[in-house]
Amino acid sequence: MPDHATTLREQIAPILERRRVPGAAVGVTHGTDTTLLGFGVTNLEHALPVDGDTIFQVGSISKTLLGLIIGRLAEQGRVSLDAPVAPYFPAGTGVDERITLRHVITHTSGIDAQNMIADAPRILRDHADDSIQASLRHFVRRPLLFAPGTDYSYSGPGIMVAAAVVERVTGRHYADVLQEEVLDPAGMTNTFTTADQVMTRRVAAPHDCDRDGRPVLLTDKGWQRHWQLPGWDVPGGGVLSTVRDLMRYAAYVRSAAAPAGLFDVQARRGPIGRDIGLAWWLEDVAGRPATLHDGLTIGYASRLVLIRSEDVAFVVLTNSLQGGAAVKEIERVIARTLFGEVPRRATGPVDDSLGAALLGTYDCGFYGTVTIAPGARPGELRMVANPVPADSDQFTIELPSADRLVGCGEDSLIMLEPDGEEGSRVPFVREPDGTVSALRIGERIAGRVA
């Protein structure tokens, strides 16, 4: 795809500058042609140019690698997706006996346990055990959000349970299974799980923006001890990789060498047209069916998309907590470059009856609530974040807010940026009597409280 490289470079660079993202790496494969592009720098204080082999935290793209491992074990007959996971653990561990492997890999287990982020500074202090097996004791006895298999809510701790099953079945540390079952077969020679492994390589450092919108380096700002995520977060978000390796991974999962069924629909994610396979999100991108996953850690935002009908794959890695909006814009540039003009989402004003049903406050767990209120324009709503102050030994994730929310299909709102550009979707749960019982904020269910 050499003829597209110049177009992509010319259009992506201004996006990163406007969004104040210090560095990004972009990979695009179309058929047999692959383009890798680097933008900006790895680190504002010790700058090196980003290239195709620069290492980033890839965040929740990591979950799809776990999905591949589970797919392989299922193919080998070593696990069953519909078997309860409790028997894999010692008696009295506390895992709900109704929860199956399918539930935890598709976020339909009902396990919430946002405390694993909120309380991580306390849990991890004094060099506490951060292994996958150790993670379970911090959350498995907490009440479930819903009965397993009856709803969907994105759950990092559920992924920890899935990875703990992998360790129990194989008798090996998760990182070793990852190496043998994914990294080696896919040729991912520059993908790792620890800071020690990457410290001699070109690594993108985490950044955010200060109150004046200027990019700043982040140091020890996450829930983890330092830069490296806890061991129990490796399956869910702790993989460290490059665009070159992720393009190899994209080719591998689309090949006959990968286990079958990775992209089969395993459960619904709530909104119409949004499903989930073995950890892979299934939804339309650029008007075409796609398999994908986003990633977000403190200082990084990323996205990996496969559009198999067009033999297309692309990945965007950024080294900024504010990179999510840039990733969305870059995706639109890639889509236009490859396919021409692509259909936009069908959006429109929120009618009065739906608007009235949506007004209220919704529980976002440890981080507070959000309130849906009337907007400044007819047919629009707004979302107000109501964060809960954190204790000195807790970490909080910033809740989303939006001055403009409009309708997007029959079961979602969508945020509009000040320039009218589309942002994130906000699905909602509407009951048969017309009342709205919950929102889905960042893929997590948030029940109405007022």
Tokens of 446: 């948030």
On the CB side of 395, CA atoms within 13 Å amount to 20
Taking the C-alpha atoms of residue 30 and residue 33, their distance in angstroms, rounded to an integer, is 5
Contacts (Cβ under 8 Å, ≥6 apart) of 271: 409, 411, 412, 425, 427, 440
Q: Which long-range contacts (CB under 8 A, 24 or more apart) does 12-15 make?
A: 12/37, 12/39, 12/330, 12/333, 13/39, 15/326, 15/329, 15/330, 15/333
Fold of 1-342: Beta-lactamase (3.40.710)
Contacts (Cβ under 8 Å, ≥6 apart) of 37: 5, 8, 9, 12, 25, 26, 27, 52
Is the pLDDT assigned to residue 168 strictly greater than 50? yes
Predicted local distance difference test score (pLDDT) of residue 396: 78
Cα 66 to its chain centre, rounded Å, is: 13
Predicted local distance difference test score (pLDDT) of residue 1: 46
Taking the C-alpha atoms of residue 203 and residue 201, their distance in angstroms, rounded to an integer, is 6
Inter-CA distances, 59 with 8, 229, 233, 247, 377, Å: 24, 10, 9, 16, 36
Strands 412-416 and 281-285: unpaired
Domains of the chain, residue spans: 1-342, 347-447
Is the pLDDT assigned to residue 419 strictly greater than 80? no
What percent of the chain is predicted at pLDDT more than 90? 87
Each residue of 32-87: pLDDT tens digit? 999 999 999 999 999 999 999 999 999 999 999 999 999 999 999 999 999 999 99
Helix (H) or strand (E) holding 29: strand 23-30
Sign of CA dihedral 373, 413, 60, 12: negative
270 vs 176, more confident: 176
Taking the C-alpha atoms of residue 331 and residue 337, their distance in angstroms, rounded to an integer, is 10
The neighbour count for residue 38, using CB atoms within 10 Å, is 23
Cα 211 to its chain centre, rounded Å, is: 25
Position 330 confidence tier, pLDDT thresholds 50, 70, 90: very high
Q: Which CATH number fits domain 347-447: 2.40.128, 3.30.200, 2.40.10, 2.60.120?
A: 2.40.128
With contact defined as beta carbons under 8 Å apart, do 114 and 367 qualify? yes
Tokens of 351: 């009618």
Q: What backbone torsions phi and psi does residue 263 show, to the nearest 5 degrees? A: -105, 10
Name which of 152-156, 163-167, 269-273 the model is least confident about: 269-273
Each residue of 381-393: pLDDT tens digit? 999 999 988 777 7
Taking the C-alpha atoms of residue 300 and residue 239, their distance in angstroms, rounded to an integer, is 12
Position 398 confidence tier, pLDDT thresholds 50, 70, 90: confident
Taking the C-alpha atoms of residue 430 and residue 173, their distance in angstroms, rounded to an integer, is 43
Residue with tokens 């990789």: 241
User: Helices 323-339 and 2-18 meet at what angle, rounded to 10?
Assistant: 150
Contacts (Cβ under 8 Å, ≥6 apart) of 206: 57, 217, 218, 221, 222, 227, 297, 298, 299, 300, 319, 320, 321
Chain length of the chain = 450
Taking the C-alpha atoms of residue 268 and residue 305, their distance in angstroms, rounded to an integer, is 19
Summarize the confidence of residues 228-233 as an average pLDDT.
95
Predicted local distance difference test score (pLDDT) of residue 143: 94
Strands 240-241 and 215-217: unpaired
Summarize the confidence of residues 349-373 as an average pLDDT.
95
Sign of CA dihedral 154, 345, 317, 305: positive
Mean pLDDT of the chain: 94
Is the pLDDT assigned to residue 356 strictly greater than 50? yes
Q: Which of 252, 253, 292, 238 is nearest to 56 (CA)?
A: 238
Sign of CA dihedral 102, 107, 109, 115: positive
Inter-CA distances, 234 with 195, 226, 228, 414, Å: 12, 14, 9, 31
Predicted local distance difference test score (pLDDT) of residue 347: 92
Which residues does residue 43 pair with via DSSP β-bridges, in sequence order? Answer: none
Taking the C-alpha atoms of residue 76 and residue 22, their distance in angstroms, rounded to an integer, is 44
